[in-house]
């Protein structure tokens, strides 16, 4: 049995997964990031502790947003949580007294889609998560590719509108400034003066004849097609799996996107675009799979020798 968490700006998702992959628990706690980074960390540790005790877990996994140091298990920078240089894996391992697997949410999500979701039976696919940000992971032979510094997959910061709106990364005209849920809501607010409308509501209005909403929605799809066509040209995936909050937009998203992509990929056929099979659960299920992998690796690792030299060790063969 393993337990896993995925920490997001709105929710901390949790699961308990049995060895056969079945889920014994799936739930969440509210992040309430406005309480400050320490309070969020405390909620993460408490939630993981409760799950591990209740389900007798032997390993845990955690998926984080933002910039991560996957080798060191560190949350380098998570803007939504206010975390900087938090050694998540070490602190969680100390709290739970068990091995902890750590990964970026989009690579964990890609792993889960490969094993359990829309990437099954597909040798290579690009998993794209479109929500408040836009991130991507390339999955080859069931394994998300990683990089040296934990910065891979920041598709949202590809500049697709040079000189465009300022971005949270310090640049301008990034994909995220046009295609993320936050950007869609912000751009509609700026165009109409209407406050507190979500991207989902902008989409609904686009479908009922609101020309401003329809324009902003179309621009978001076009921007995503610009970003994806660059990624496709570079890595050549067989399939695009779209997850994150906007994957739920259904036909209004998935109908226009292939045509927009085809327009941009003159030299090759556009890969098939499919919605995520796991939706918002992809990252936490991926964290559970990472925990399973860690547990299995520890079980199959060679046991340390019980003696260090032949002259002093027990069971030494008799001299002939
Ligand atoms: Zn940016």
Residue 248: alpha-carbon gap to chain centroid = 16
Among 108-112, 194-198, 244-248, the range of highest mean pLDDT: 108-112
CATH of 2-108+280-298 among 3.50.50.60, 1.10.3720.10, 3.40.50.720, 3.30.420.40: 3.30.420.40
Domain 121-277 in CATH 3.30.420.40: yes
| 2-108+280-298 and 121-277 agree in CATH topology | yes
Per-residue pLDDT for 304 more than 70?
no
Per-residue confidence (pLDDT) for residue 250, from 0 to 100: 67
Per-residue pLDDT for 311 more than 70?
no
- Provide the residues around ligand 1 (an ion) whose CB is within 5 A: 157, 167, 169, 171, 174
Give me the residue label for tokens 């659960």.
Answer: 281
- Residue range 46-56, pLDDT digits in tens: 999 999 999 99
Domain boundaries, the chain: 2-108+280-298, 121-277
Taking the centre of ligand 1 as the mean of its atom positions, its distance from the CA of residue 302, in whole angstroms, is 45
Mean pLDDT of all residues in 283-301: 93
Taking the centre of ligand 1 as the mean of its atom positions, its distance from the CA of residue 169, in whole angstroms, is 4
Taking the centre of ligand 1 as the mean of its atom positions, its distance from the CA of residue 319, in whole angstroms, is 70
- Residue range 45-95, pLDDT digits in tens: 999 999 999 999 999 999 999 889 988 999 999 888 999 999 999 999 999
Output 313 or 118, whichever has higher pLDDT: 118
- Write out the two tokens for 287: 């964290």
């Amino acid at each position: 049995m393993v337990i896993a968490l995925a920490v997001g700006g709105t929710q901390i998702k949790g699961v308990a997964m049995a060895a056969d992959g079945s889920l014994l628990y799936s739930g969440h706690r509210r992040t309430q990031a406005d309480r400050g980074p320490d309070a969020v960390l405390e909620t993460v540790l408490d939630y993981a502790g409760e799950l591990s005790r209740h389900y007798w877990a032997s390993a845990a996994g955690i998926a984080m947003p933002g910039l991560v140091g996957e080798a060191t298990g560190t949350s380098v920078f998570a803007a939504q949580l206010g975390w900087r240089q938090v050694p998540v894996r070490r602190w969680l391992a100390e709290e739970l007294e068990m091995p902890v697997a750590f990964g970026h949410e989009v690579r964990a999500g890609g792993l889960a889609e490969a094993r359990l979701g829309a990437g099954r039976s597909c040798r290579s696919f690009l998993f794209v998560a479109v929500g408040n940000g836009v991130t991507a992971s390339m999955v080859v032979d069931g394994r998300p590719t990683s990089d040296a510094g934990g910065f891979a997959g920041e598709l949202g910061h590809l500049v697709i509108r040079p000189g465009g709106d300022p971005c949270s990364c310090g640049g301008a005209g990034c994909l995220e400034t046009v295609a993320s849920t936050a950007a869609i809501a912000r751009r509609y607010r700026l165009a109409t003066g209407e406050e507190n409308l979500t991207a989902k509501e902008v989409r609904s209005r686009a479908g009922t004849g609101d020309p401003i909403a329809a324009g902003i929605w179309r621009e978001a799809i076009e921007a995503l097609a610009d970003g994806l066509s660059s990624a496709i040209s570079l890595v050549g995936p067989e399939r695009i799996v779209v997850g994150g909050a906007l994957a739920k937009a259904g036909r209004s998203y998935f109908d226009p996107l292939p045509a927009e992509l085809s327009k941009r990929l003159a030299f090759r056929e556009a890969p098939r675009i499919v919605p995520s099979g796991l939706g918002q659960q992809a990252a936490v299920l991926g964290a559970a799979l990472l925990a399973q992998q860690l547990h299995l690796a520890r079980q199959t690792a060679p046991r340390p020798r019980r003696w260090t030299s032949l002259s002093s060790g027990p069971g030494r063969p008799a001299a002939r």
